[in-house]
A and B are shown apart, each in its own frame.
Chain A
Amino acid sequence: MSSSNTLLERRYAALGLMLIAPTVLVFCAVIIYPLVSAIYLSFFNIFTPTLEGEWVGLSNYTELLQTGQFWSALGNTLIWTVGTLSLQIIFGIAMALVLHQNIWFRSLARSLILFPYFISTVVAVLVWKWLFNDLYGIMNHLLISAGIIDFPMDFLGTMPNAMVSVILVGAWKYFPFVVIAVLARLQSIPDALYEAAKIDGAGPIARFFDVTLPQLREVLVVIILLRAIWDFKEFDLIFLLTGGGPINDTQTLPLLVYQEAFALNDMGRASAYAVVMMAIMLVFMIVYIRRTRSEEGS
């Protein structure tokens, strides 16, 4: 602010500060404080129940990078994120295109499609566990009746079945988000563009690639970044479905953090994992922020 600001301008600036102050305070209490304390705790060897321990410097980090568990959890996290996100995007776009057509019961279908997204994860996982059950689950029943398999499959207890199942349930649960975002964008594409393309000689497939997809590009970038961040830190769905098993084959980083903090009671190590996770997600966040900024700029 320059000294040439008038009294009125200074009064407006003061009012602005007063109005954002409550938000800033809440933000500090629930974001900044936990963040700083997590980083702080990661330099200690802390016993969770008593929260007492000693300064160990960077040894939590060096140990973490040397143990195979961290790297396998990171690998699992990447497989889960890429797998489930790809399916969410493919099914999401396909379903949005279907719901954009003039089909019967369109508004009913649009509401129903949101169902998996709104249902509580605990409820969804319980239902899926029943479906997957190897004794009385309908999946095995249907597959056996169809003659595809001879014996019941263990969907959640063996690999790669468990990872595939988790990825599928994740895709089922979160693809409606993609549907809604893509559908909103589809509705704002001017009809004249499709008509111009028709007159220019473009068939349905050319119209999808030359009109629809380029128009969806911006929204897809945002969806992919957001969903990548959310899938990367997904905890409850995987934890409830497999608990990270069989052995540790579906254990992702958030599950590992939980295990260290509350099963092995090593809060310092858990904090170190959490900080590393945050550093990885920071990359996504920076890309996302730059992306949205450049959009506002243009």
Chain B
Amino acid sequence: MAEVVFSQVKKAFGTFTAVHGLDLHIKEGEFVSLLGPSGCGKTTTLRMLAGLEFPTSGDIQIGDRVVNDIPPGQRDIAMVFQSYALYPHMSVADNIAYPLKKRGVGRADRDIAVAKTAELLQLTELLKRKPRQLSGGQQQRVALGRALVRDPKVFLLDEPLSNLDAKLRGYMRVELVELHRRLGRTMVYVTHDQLEAMTMSDRIAVMEGGVLQQFAPPAEVYAAPANRFVASFIGTPGMTLMDGELSKQGGTWRFDAPGISMDVGALNDRAEPGGACLGVRPEHVSIGQGSINGTIQVVEKTGHENIVIIGLEGGQRLTGRVPAPQSWSIGENVQLSLDAEQAHIFGPGPHGPRLNLPSNIATPDLKSAAN
């Protein structure tokens, strides 16, 4: 077990900088997801940790060793690749045994370790098969087995579920969380799928444009996004973001946009009168009564709830989420209200910082509450 520390790590490919001065402290035994859109630098970060890319500057530490100059095979890490990268000519057993073989573990010990790993991952029946004779989910488990067999300090997982179908993905999410709980090893997980990051991680590192946007537990990332980018990236359906003006009236702030006007209470000291952005999660929109007028434009029925898209008088669109029995017809005029307590205010620009006071948002740590 080991902690992983990135200190001012930068990676440039020619003139393009993939990762800008990253500082990240992953605790021992923690499950951390690197989450972001493609090209955000998350995979580069993982590959630097694996030793497959070399940082342009800065230090990477695994346990108490700076590993910048240590080759991948000696970093005491294991990695699961998106494509699984199983050796096609080797049987499942040989694939799993390979990292042990390369470290000079004797045949008898290898066989014992392979048998143990295979049992853990329910691969015992498949040990003699070749990778091409396996389904995607089985190949995935073999790739996991090859990583597990050596009992490394840190597990690196590069979008390991993205080649599986939706049902299997859901199943494997649960399996991975269970595995993490049993092994207690540090795991770094790269994904662009927020559902995976939200459901599996102890903490999520949201990245964009090579810059770390927020590093916090899933509930906090959801309930108190650090900036407008994180707010827009996390949540399905996404948070409605409306540009408008902030003004101060006495001790409280007021937000005005075409068709909408509301008191947002106290804000932190980064708040300034002028351009700002209001963010509202769909579940914080109440339809039926209120001071805001809108027209129902789209109703998406998902079964247990309906996603309603409402056009406001100013031309803005707002997404709401209501339990399934409630529904409206297209074109219907409705009154609605927003939960001011749960409204988010961000500074101007695509990365405008969060302006709410920390105490404004309840941030229950769902994972620790469940334990």
Are A and B part of the same complex? yes
Question: B61-88 CB contact bits vs A (8 Å, 1 = yes)?
Answer: 0000000000111100111011101011
Of B79, B83, B89, the contact of A199 (CB 8 Å cutoff): B79
Instruction: State the CA gap A199–B78 with chains docked (Å).
Output: 7
Contact pattern, A 122-141, Cβ under 8 Å of B = 1, otherwise 0: 00000000000000000000
Per-residue interface assignment for chain A, residues 180 to 200, with 1 indicating a CB less than 8 Å from any chain B CB and 0 otherwise = 000000000010110111111
| Cα distance, A210 to B98, chains bound together (Å) | 10
Say yes or no: B103 contacts A201, CB within 8 Å: yes
Task: State whether A214 touches B87 (Cβ < 8 A).
Answer: yes
User: Is the CB of B304 closer than 8 A to any CB of chain A?
Assistant: no
Interface residues on A, range: 10 to 19
- Do B81 and A195 have beta carbons less than 8 Å apart? yes
Task: Output the residue of A196, A197, A215 with the most chain B CB within 10 A.
Answer: A196
Whether A193 contacts B89 in the complex (CB less than 8 A), given A199-B78, A200-B102, A201-B99, comes out as no
- A192 near B83 with CB under 8 A, answer yes
Digit string of A198-228 for contact with B (CB within 8 Å is 1, else 0)? 1111110010001100110100000000000
In the bound complex, residues from chain B placing their C-beta under 8 Å from that of A196 are 79, 81, 85, 87, 146
Partner of A195, one of B52, B77, B87, B99: B52
If over half of B's interface residues share one DSSP class (helix, strand or loop), that class is named, otherwise mixed; here it is: loop
**Interface: B50 (CB within 8 A):** yes
CB contacts (< 8 Å) of B98 on chain A: these are: 197, 200, 202, 210
Cβ-based interface call for B279 (8 A)? no
Name the CB-closest residue of B to A193: B85
Take A200-B99, A201-B99, A206-B102 as given contacts and tell me if A190 and B77 are in contact as well, using a CB distance cutoff of 8 Å.
Answer: no
What residues on B are CB-neighbors of A199 within 8 Å?
Answer: 50-52, 72-73, 77-79, 99
Cα of A217 to Cα of B88 in the assembled complex, Å: 12
Nearest chain-A residue to B94 (Cβ)?
A210
> Given A198-B71, A199-B73, A200-B99, A190 and B83 touching (CB < 8 A)?
yes
Q: How far is the CA of A203 from the CA of B72 in the complex (A)?
A: 10
Which residues of B (70-127) have their CB < 8 Å from a CB of A? 71-74, 77-79, 81-83, 85, 87-89, 98-99, 102-103
**Least CB distance, A221 to chain B, in whole angstroms:** 13
State how many residues of chain B have any CB contact under 8 Å with chain A. Answer: 22
Rounded to whole Å, the gap between the CB of A53 and the closest CB of chain B is 56
- Report the separation of the CA atoms of residues A206 and B73 in the bound assembly, to the nearest whole angstrom: 12
Residues of A within 8 A of B73 (CB): 198-203
User: B residues within 8 A CB of A210?
Assistant: 87, 98
Q: Closest CB of chain B to A104's CB: distance in Å?
A: 17
Which residues in B have their C-beta under 8 angstroms from that of A197?
A: 87, 98
A190 touches B85 (CB 8 A): yes
The complex places the Cα of A215 from the Cα of B131 at a distance, in Å, of 14
What is the CA–CA distance of A199 and B150 in the complex, to the nearest angstrom?
A: 11
Task: Give CA–CA (A62, B107) in the complex, Å.
Answer: 57
Residues in chain B near residue A200, CB distance under 8 A: 73, 98-99, 102, 146
Interface 1/0s, chain B 133-147, versus A by CB < 8 A? 000000000000010
Whole-angstrom distance between the Cβ of B113 and the nearest chain A Cβ = 14
The 8 A CB mask of B21-52 against A (1 = contact, 0 = none) is 00000000000000000000000000000111
Q: Which residue of B lies closest to A214 (CB)?
A: B89
> Which residues does chain A contribute within 8 Å of B85, judged by CB atoms?
190, 192-193, 195-196
Question: How far is A87 from B88 in the complex, measured between Cα atoms in Å?
Answer: 28
Q: Which residues of A lie under 8 Å from residue B89 when comparing CB positions?
A: 214-215, 217
Contacts of B82 in A (CB 8 A): 192
A198 CA / B54 CA spacing, docked (Å): 14
Which residues of A lie under 8 Å from residue B88 when comparing CB positions?
Answer: 214-215
B257-299 Cβ-contact flags toward A at 8 Å (1 or 0): 0000000000000000000000000000000000000000000
Q: Assuming the A-B contacts A192-B81, A206-B102, A210-B98, are A198 and B87 also in contact, with contact meaning beta carbons closer than 8 angstroms in the complex? A: no
Q: Which residues of B contact A211 (CB under 8 A)?
A: 87
User: Which residues of the other chain, A, contact B87 by a CB distance below 8 angstroms?
Assistant: 193, 196-197, 210-211, 214
By a CB distance below 8 angstroms, the chain B residues around A192 are 81-83, 85
Give Cα distance in the complex from A214 to B87, angstroms. 9
Given A192-B83, A195-B79, A206-B102, 19 additional A-B pairs, CB 8 A:
A193-B85, A195-B50, A197-B87, A198-B51, A198-B73, A199-B52, A199-B78, A199-B99, A200-B98, A200-B99, A201-B103, A202-B73, A202-B98, A202-B102, A203-B73, A210-B98, A214-B88, A214-B89, A217-B89
- The residues of A with any CB-CB pair to B shorter than 8 Å are 190, 192-193, 195-203, 206, 210-211, 214-215, 217
For the complex of A and B, 5 pairs with smallest distance between CB atoms: A201-B73, A201-B102, A192-B85, A196-B85, A214-B89
A sample of 9 cross-chain residue pairs with beta-carbon separation below 8 angstroms, ordered by A number, consists of A190-B83, A196-B81, A198-B52, A199-B50, A199-B52, A201-B102, A201-B103, A210-B87, A210-B98
